[in-house]
Structure 1
Amino acid sequence: MLCIWYYPSEAEAKKAVVFTVRKMNFLLETLQVMILSVYYNVEGFLRLFISARKKNVTGEIVLITGAGSGIGRLMALEFAGLGATLVLWDINQEGNKETACLAREKGAVRVHTYLCDCSDKAEVYRVADQVKREVGDVSILINNAGIVTGKKFMDAPDSLIEKTIEVNTMSHFWTYKAFLPAMMANNHGHLVSIASSAGLIGVNGLADYCASKFAAIGFAESVALELLSTGKDGVKTTIVCPYFINTGMFDGCNTKWPRMLPILDPHYVAKRIVNAILTEQAYLLMPRSLYVLMALKNILPAKLAVLLGVYFGAFNFMDAFKGRGKKQQ
């Protein structure tokens, strides 16, 4: 019997090895994903019943934009008793000083106020440099400043549309550019974006506002992934998406079903946000019903989504709006 032995070439042998390695990597990575998926689901379920441990922010430098009123002020007061150094930015100098006084009454020892128009890139960079010289490197950045025009798209002046994007979106780019390098160098810090439920789903009469908040969320998510991919896992991120808050910014807006989608109490919102920061929660939606609504948005047919929008009054939220581009939140 004649036997013919086949010896693969070097190139064919390398291809076989590469194929085998890729197959093993695929199996191992798939197994890893399956195991971790179970672990993270169990972890998430347990957190519904067990409170996460809160980090200590004593000595941390917390910068809050839009701190002169509303949610910005209330968050400052929440941090005041936690031993953090407060850096308060606002375009309203008197309101900012009042926040500082209230924070000191709440126990804050170091409070610094700065007049800053967050829509102005040059001013953000200038004031940021001043903060670094006078206070130090910011370790918790809370982008809270924002405005709303409350006009339908075709009725909104170009200048107000541009201002909405500049304050609600572009200012986040400039504050991150100013303070993120130090956080990355230390692999320590926290970036917080106070966005909106209007950044998750379009709202009739809020085209420019929704666009600005969608962009803010996308920006924050992208930077969070960049930090993870570069190994800077010590810099945490939190994205906050609340429904309308009773601060005057959306004065006159109403809700069709207040038990399911209530107009939120600002003190409750501020406490929830600070708790999310202390427990390093990646996303915070308020009220909890938003988690269900957002899940439905992604799986329902478009026509059914519109039907539910009518049911929940999404087309009439802004009918009685009385706000005038007020500061957030």
Structure 2
Amino acid sequence: MELYDTFSTIFDFLRMILMFHYELFYALYRLFVPVELKNLKGEIVLITGAGGGIGRQLTLEYVKQGCKVICVDIDEKNNALSVKQGNAITTASTIGYKCDITNRDEVLALAEKVKKDVGNVSVLINNAGIMPTRSILQHTHEVIQKVMDINLMSHFWTLEAFLPSMYEKKQGTVIALSSVLGIFGMPNTVPYSASKFAVRGYMEALLSEIIDYRPDAKIQCLTVCPSWVNTNLIHTVKMKFPKLFPALSPKYVANQIVQAHRRGQREITIPWFYAGILHMLRLFPYKCVEVLRQFVDGKVECDL
């Protein structure tokens, strides 16, 4: 029996090595021969924080792909404008709902209404977020709680509301907006950065759960980590070499998200090369990274 266990372990180890190298070379191959882009026509896409910025541009991008788009925002006026712009591209393609996504009961009620009015959501995009910027001790506990409720906890309520139907149909997509500040921290962004690190963590864990417990379900999980985006969310970012790290347009970010969705990717940074740089920095001692950070002199200005 011990001999059998030994051979079984050796076999599993060799199989793991083979599969590891296969996946590695396949990934390298796909760098030069991209996968065929998935057709999104007919998907029912729900976007939180759709009233402006990235959310509005995502609305327009998905409408162009032939999707039915559900715009969700607590700001009814701006959400209605996103709906109007979506319907200007394709008539009756976009519908809006007012919802406080930090309120679990409201989110669950929204899910029932959406199912009745439109159908089962096949693509969930957790985009809503806020970003107060100041030193940690200048944040009130109310503001910290609000950051966590909008940027993180709302994701759990939307997952509770919309993931079961994806499991039932054995297909779907969950997209969550994290940030480069969910990969490394900067001054004046402690609560925001904490919430975005958490988003990356739960999305990685969620994907692992789906692979292990629901291998029959073809559910894509995509985590998006944009750099500085030119929206009302972010305040002035100061650094020594601003031309090397320009602010991104919401339209560009939205386009990159849709392309990553269509390619079946699991995590992206925007721009793409940030991924290699930021993860490579983790290989160096902390003080080396801090020397580089101080040289770049990057920080988000306080909003007080």
Q: What is the TM-score with the length of structure 2 in the denominator?
A: 0.95
CA distance in 1, matches of 2:160, 2:153: 11
Deviation larger for 224-233 or 179-188? 224-233
Deviation larger for 47-56 or 140-149? 47-56
Runs of 4+ with >4 A deviation = none
Structure 1 residue 194, shift from structure 2 partner: 0.8
Matched, 1:118 2:118: no
Q: Could you say what secondary structure the match of 2:47 adopts?
A: strand
Q: Which residue of 2 aligns with 1:311?
A: 295
User: For structure 1, which runs of at least 5 residues remain unmatched after alignment?
Assistant: 1-16, 325-329
Matched, 1:38 2:21: yes
Q: Could you say what secondary structure the match of 2:137 adopts?
A: helix
Matched, 1:256 2:223: no
Given the alignment, which residue of 119, 126, 132 partners 1:149? Answer: 132
CA distance in 2, matches of 1:39, 1:108: 46
CA distance in 2, matches of 1:151, 1:120: 26
Q: Could you say what secondary structure the match of 1:89 adopts?
A: strand
**Deviation string, structure 1 residues 69-118 (Cα, Å, up to 9, x no partner):** 00001011001121211111011111111111111122254321000111
Structure 1 residue 187, shift from structure 2 partner: 1.0
CA distance in 2, matches of 1:264, 1:254: 15
Rate the CA distance shift 1:202–1:84 in 2: closer, same or farther, 3 A: same
Q: Which residue of 2 aligns with 1:131?
A: 114
**Deviation string, structure 1 residues 231-273 (Cα, Å, up to 9, x no partner):** 1440110000011101121132234334543322222111100
CA distance in 2, matches of 1:190, 1:220: 12
| Matched ranges for 1:84-95 at <5 A | 84-95=67-78
Matched, 1:188 2:188: no
CA distance in 1, matches of 2:216, 2:281: 32
Structure 1 residue 120, shift from structure 2 partner: 1.5
Q: Which residue of 2 aligns with 1:237?
A: 221
CA distance in 1, matches of 2:79, 2:34: 33
Matched, 1:68 2:51: yes
Are 2:268 and 2:275, in contact at CA under 8 Å, matched by a contact in 1?
no
Q: Which residue of 1 aligns with 2:181?
A: 198
Q: What is the TM-score with the length of structure 1 in the denominator?
A: 0.88
What one-letter code is carried by the residue in structure 2 that aligns with 1:133?
K
Number of residues of Structure 1 aligned to a counterpart in Structure 2: 303
Matched, 1:81 2:64: yes
Given the alignment, which residue of 268, 273, 277 partners 2:252? Answer: 268
Identity of aligned residues (%): 31
Q: Which residue of 2 aligns with 1:170?
A: 153
Are 1:151 and 1:205, in contact at CA under 8 Å, matched by a contact in 2?
yes
CA distance in 2, matches of 1:25, 1:240: 39
| Matched ranges for 1:197-216 at <5 A | 197-216=180-199
CA distance in 2, matches of 1:255, 1:265: 18
Structure 1 residue 177, shift from structure 2 partner: 0.5
CA distance in 1, matches of 2:4, 2:61: 53
Deviation larger for 177-186 or 34-43? 34-43
Q: Which residue of 2 aligns with 1:226?
A: 209
**Deviation string, structure 1 residues 119-152 (Cα, Å, up to 9, x no partner):** 1122111112211121111110000000011121
Deviation larger for 68-77 or 42-51? 42-51
| Matched ranges for 1:44-63 at <5 A | 44-63=27-46
Q: Which residue of 2 aligns with 1:11?
A: none
Q: Which residue of 1 aligns with 2:262?
A: 278
Q: Which residue of 2 aligns with 1:6?
A: none
Q: Which residue of 2 aligns with 1:23?
A: 6
Are 1:83 and 1:109, in contact at CA under 8 Å, matched by a contact in 2?
no
Q: Could you say what secondary structure the match of 1:193 adopts?
A: strand
Which of the pair is proportionally richer in helix?
A: 2
What one-letter code is carried by the residue in structure 1 that aligns with 2:293?
G
Deviation larger for 290-299 or 73-82? 290-299
